[in-house]
Structure 1
Amino acid sequence: MLLATKPILLSIGSVVLAHFCAAAAGHITHIAVVQSHGTFQIVSDTEHPGALATASYLDSLHTSSGWGQLSISTKAGSPDALQLYAAGFLEGYLTAHRISDHHANMEAFFNISSSGPSDFLLAQDAWAQEQVATGSTPFWTTLGLILQQHDGLMDGYSLAANDSQNTASGTPPLPQLNRIDFLKLSAVGDLGDLVPALEPKKQVQWETLDARDVEETLASQGHCSALVKVTGNYSDLFLAHSSWFTYSGMVRIYKHYDFAVASPHHKLRRTSFSSYPGELSSDDDFYLMDTGLALLQTTNDILDTELYKLLTPKSVLNWQRVRLANAMADTGKEWADVVSQYNSGTYNNQYMIVDLKLFGPGQELQPNLLWVVEQIPGLTVAEDQTEILSRGYWPSYNVPFYPEIYRRSGYLKFQKEQEARGRDFVAAAKQKSYQLAPRATIFRRDAGEVTDLASLKRLMRSNDYQNDPYSDGKALNAICGRGDLDGAKPRAYGCYDSKVANFDMAQKLAAEGIVGPAGREAGLEPFEWKEGSFAQVAHHGQPRVFDFKYEPLSAELLSAAGALQSPLHGALQ
């Protein structure tokens, strides 16, 4: 045992490992899946000779960061489709209770009142399955593997739900979820556009809002803050991302996949990423990949809803295209080429693809180190933006960078319409100005102060809205905004996590992360689900108080901690 774990201990560091094990002790579950007589079975023996895949899981209840961690590895030699199905099966079974929590929270948040979004997703699913069955190009065969993983996820959850009906533990049985339930979970990001596109009553009627409501609505549409940063002498490179969404979404799992597929078109083997129960993509996005690529993303809203007329189920959803691009690309340009195919026009984002292979500490930045991709319905724009990064940093804050995307998304028209309404509306519309949005100005002022991981962590959790003139007294006008602190119209919405990595960590697919709105680290009181406070907001499976701290997130650490705990701990019950 000591000989087996010594290299891991040396790589991680004994102090880090000791702290992690102290929190995780006895709580890491290890299982495997085997196939017997045509059926899939869960076993606790991860060394089983017939194991198709193995998994380790640490629930967020037993971490100091609020992040659960899940690691899944498939065994080489089995057909690729079988490996991916087995991986999904393990994830569905092992995280079933969290899938149930997240599903309940998202159902309540979206509150879909028509069959339109479900009909769209079912039609898209049928079309994608047909393309996979009849197509033979690398794009479709790789998508077929992803859909196999999704099928396994559903079946693994179904087995766990069936098992929960027969348990004597006293805990409520898990609800059975059907295919559309899982399609909606996977497409949480896509639903952000599908729901207003198919339920027009949920589109914002800007002309009916006063200036304050315009500003608050724009601020609450923010979906993430991201930063790519180099030090002044190019000795280090930093990646950082803080997610924004409804606080209902704070059931989190950081996932590590190691898929030993044989297909030459599937270039990706190992990836680590922030995610959610029941979702096979990041959604944030924050990915570290063994192809040498790292991916960050923030969302750009569609202000010209005429673009929604271009949506069709005969397309590939965002979560699927991102997984495809991650699997098939090992350069930023290749990634952009893949993600632009069969664009669904849903979950329209700015993507930052960093090619770590092109970074050398202390050396000049090489072309193609940073590619930036933006999509809207009917259009993808992608270019190398390394030259801008060479000046110090690339920020992202939910406003399109490319002029054509900005114009065609409706931002330019929106600003002119607000300007015509008077001075107060001009100030409100700054939320959608690429140069003058509050987070743009804060990044411009503070990014230069990031010189190490500690200062990066502080920036991505920063919220000094009561004193910072750039925040104008508004708690959402910050890198890690908090809508619940809005004195006039508090809402359970805002920044609710952060993930950071430097160059060395990213190469090892390691990061540090924290879950929850900005708290003590930003000089604020931790967010708490108080009696009567946001009582109507679904938060199944969440802690009452989000008072966490940054913690290492890596498959290596999870493996080392699991190896050191007693073999009896974490065995399948």
Structure 2
Amino acid sequence: MPITVKHFYLLMICFVLHKNVEATVNASVTFDPSTGLYHIHENIKSDSVAWATFTDEIFKTGWSYLQVWTNGTYDDTMQVYAAGLVEGYLTRSLIKNHWRNTVADYCNGEIEYCYRLREFLQTNLNYMTDNISLYRTTRSYWHQAGLILEQISGIEDGYMNAPTQPRTKLDVVGIMFSNICGDLEDLEVVLKKTRPRRKLGEGSCSALIKLLDGNKDIYVAHDTWTAYNTMLRVLKKYNLQIHVSPQKGSPLVPGHTVSFSSSPGMIFSGDDFYVISSGLVTIETTIGNDNSTLWKYVQPEGTVLEWIRNLVANRMSKTGAEWVSWFKKFNSGTYNNQWMIVDYKRFKPGKEISPGLLWVLEQLPGHVVSGDVTKVLLKNGYWASYNTAYFPDIFNMSGSAEMVKKFGDWFSYDRTPRALIFKRDQGNVHDIDSMTRLMRYNNFTKDPLSRCNCTPPYSAENAIAARCDLNPKNGSYPFSALGHRSHGATDMKLTTFGLSQKFEFVAIGGPTHDPLPPFQWSKSDFSKDLPHHGHPDLWVFKPVTHHWK
């Protein structure tokens, strides 16, 4: 077919767009003391309060990359607000698309629930801001909480490209709303959303911590399991020169620098996966709560939502024991997870391992249980996590024991499919490639451990990396999580002792494939009903290791 003038212009537009999305762009924020205003510049100024680089390679690698620095000669509040400004400005097109994909229609058909949700969130925000105002100068926790809210306000203003001063009040359904995505899973139940997102038995992430033979290395890997409309992702690195408290002479927080997988407009991971300057790597998988008697502990006052508590713990902690101590304060009972905290400072390749290398914490409304499980890691050679509670008290209290009685081993801790697959295959991990293969593993039509009392007799949920879009739409399943839906493992992140020293990790974007057919929006039955603005059509990407500047 001959190329017409119209075709030529279309090709040129595509070329320019492709070129633009792969270009690295810089920006910085300066402060004018004469007016009290911050200003955003499309280059890096020598007197910047904060500056950043951004590269959008979503169509090339499945990821975009953001790196933010702040200037420690400015006070903490100025730093984090400016950091938010520069991030909001550089990633504004991604924020817009991610909002359209995941938030814009959230309240459709749920107006009464959304009124209750907004009231809950506003009451909770008022509780936090009151405590920040009263105790910021004397209690480190509230200083950090204040910095988190100020960074969010910066992103909101940067998105609008508005030179301004930090606002004292946030809109709970503004940019902040994107950051409560995990907490929403439980708030939907508590506040009686008509159609809550969480399905019975729904998996939400796989994780593996693997100790190599002879203690040569320890790998930490994580798969996000979520809906496919969330796949507009950003790998971020923050270098924030912030302090334990606003008092003069206060030291920098241990977690002043962190790299993590994230999404547009979010200042935490959400997956979660963090490599931190303290030497800690923190990850989680969701365990959920099926015990309705515990929801009474989810209250808007006296609690702090999980996304903020995890950021405070990441910033303030030097050890696993310190991390669980910070995190369990003001337990909201929302986004109930099993957290794993690996302390690479306690690991030397080929040497004997000391206690404290691996801590695990599990949360339910009103309850937190934690412990040093390094001995378990040493005994088994690995620690696997797959949305089931490890500690018996949490397992029983969460309602899991009742689910086992009702549905069988699928809801158990040690006999659920992923537990058995990890146990069977973790011994084959000897290097990064074999670890990656295990974390992306799904051969559900042939693996006997993927079978279920279903028609057909297997489910793509029963794998390390789920692909529920491949379950037949007309199949029969004992509970909805095993069926056909836009849900699966949408990434993989993996770090090692050596990579973690450079804040680096291997990352793969998009649903798993090989031997499975890759996910393609135009061939899926979700494409018309599920927004996916800014997404590649075909998700086939290789592992990448981003080298931070």
Q: Which residue of 2 aligns with 1:248?
A: 229
Q: Which residue of 2 aligns with 1:317?
A: 305
Q: Which residue of 1 aligns with 2:50?
A: 53
Equivalences for residues 14-93 of structure 1 within 5 A: 27-36=23-32, 37-46=35-44, 48-61=45-58, 63-64=60-61, 66-93=62-89
Contact 1:105 1:539 in 2 (8 A): yes
Question: How far is 1:67 from its partner?
Answer: 1.2
> Structure 1 residues 90, 403: closer, same or farther in 2, change over 3 A?
same
Question: How far is 1:77 from its partner?
Answer: 0.5
Question: How far is 1:161 from its partner?
Answer: 12
> Structure 1 residues 298, 458: closer, same or farther in 2, change over 3 A?
same
Q: Which residue of 1 aligns with 2:423?
A: 444
- Aligned partner letter, 1:266: V
Q: Which residue of 1 aligns with 2:484?
A: 490
Q: Which residue of 1 aligns with 2:464?
A: 479
Quick check: which one's helix share is greater?
Answer: 1
Q: Which residue of 2 aligns with 1:129?
A: 129
Q: Which residue of 2 aligns with 1:120?
A: 120
Q: Which residue of 2 aligns with 1:407?
A: 396
Deviations 1:165-201 (A, max 9, x none): xxxxxxxxxxxx9541322201000001101110154
Query: TM-score, with normalisation over the residues of structure 1?
Result: 0.83
Question: How far is 1:56 from its partner?
Answer: 0.4
Contact 2:26 2:52 in 1 (8 A): yes
Determine whether 1:195 maps to 2:180.
no
Question: How far is 1:293 from its partner?
Answer: 0.3
Question: How far is 1:537 from its partner?
Answer: 1.3
Question: How far is 1:160 from its partner?
Answer: 7.2
Q: Which residue of 2 aligns with 1:376?
A: 364
Query: TM-score, with normalisation over the residues of structure 2?
Result: 0.86
- Aligned partner letter, 2:153: D
- Aligned partner letter, 1:310: Y
The 2-side partners of 1:536 and 1:241 are apart by: 29
Equivalences for residues 4-403 of structure 1 within 5 A: 27-36=23-32, 37-46=35-44, 48-61=45-58, 63-64=60-61, 66-107=62-103, 110-111=106-107, 113=110, 114=113, 115-135=115-135, 136-159=138-161, 179-199=172-192, 201-202=194-195, 217-219=199-201, 221-263=202-244, 264=251, 266-314=253-301, 315-391=303-379, 392-403=381-392
The 1-side partners of 2:348 and 2:19 are apart by: 36
Question: How far is 1:469 from its partner?
Answer: 0.5
Contact 2:156 2:174 in 1 (8 A): no
Of the two structures, which has the highest relative contact order with CA contacts closer than 8 Å and spacing of 6 or more?
Answer: 1
SS in 2 for 1:59: strand
Deviations 1:520-543 (A, max 9, x none): xx3111101126721211212211
The 2-side partners of 1:308 and 1:109 are apart by: 26
Where does the alignment leave 5 or more consecutive residues of structure 2 unmatched?
Answer: 1-17, 165-169, 245-250, 452-457, 476-482
Deviations 1:260-280 (A, max 9, x none): 124426222211000111111
Determine whether 1:459 maps to 2:438.
yes
SS in 2 for 1:122: helix
> Structure 1 residues 23, 394: closer, same or farther in 2, change over 3 A?
farther
- Aligned partner letter, 2:282: L
Contact 1:435 1:441 in 2 (8 A): yes
The 1-side partners of 2:524 and 2:518 are apart by: 17
RMSD: 2.2
Where does the alignment leave 5 or more consecutive residues of structure 1 unmatched?
Answer: 1-21, 163-176, 205-215, 419-424, 560-573
- Aligned partner letter, 1:546: W
Contact 1:218 1:432 in 2 (8 A): no
The 1-side partners of 2:162 and 2:547 are apart by: 26
SS in 2 for 1:152: helix
The 2-side partners of 1:339 and 1:185 are apart by: 21
Question: How far is 1:518 from its partner?
Answer: 0.6
- Aligned partner letter, 2:181: V
How many percent identity over aligned positions?
A: 37
> Structure 1 residues 24, 450: closer, same or farther in 2, change over 3 A?
farther
SS in 1 for 2:512: coil
Q: Which residue of 1 aligns with 2:13?
A: none
Deviations 1:67-109 (A, max 9, x none): 1110000011000110011001111111111111111222267
> Structure 1 residues 26, 383: closer, same or farther in 2, change over 3 A?
closer
Contact 1:271 1:289 in 2 (8 A): yes
> Structure 1 residues 24, 256: closer, same or farther in 2, change over 3 A?
farther
SS in 2 for 1:381: strand
Contact 2:491 2:507 in 1 (8 A): yes
The 2-side partners of 1:486 and 1:200 are apart by: 27
Deviations 1:141-162 (A, max 9, x none): 1211111111111111122799
Question: How far is 1:364 from its partner?
Answer: 1.5
Contact 1:251 1:276 in 2 (8 A): yes
SS in 1 for 2:40: strand
The 1-side partners of 2:221 and 2:203 are apart by: 16
- Aligned partner letter, 2:499: M
Contact 2:297 2:333 in 1 (8 A): yes
> Structure 1 residues 456, 110: closer, same or farther in 2, change over 3 A?
farther
> Structure 1 residues 32, 370: closer, same or farther in 2, change over 3 A?
same
Contact 2:40 2:163 in 1 (8 A): no
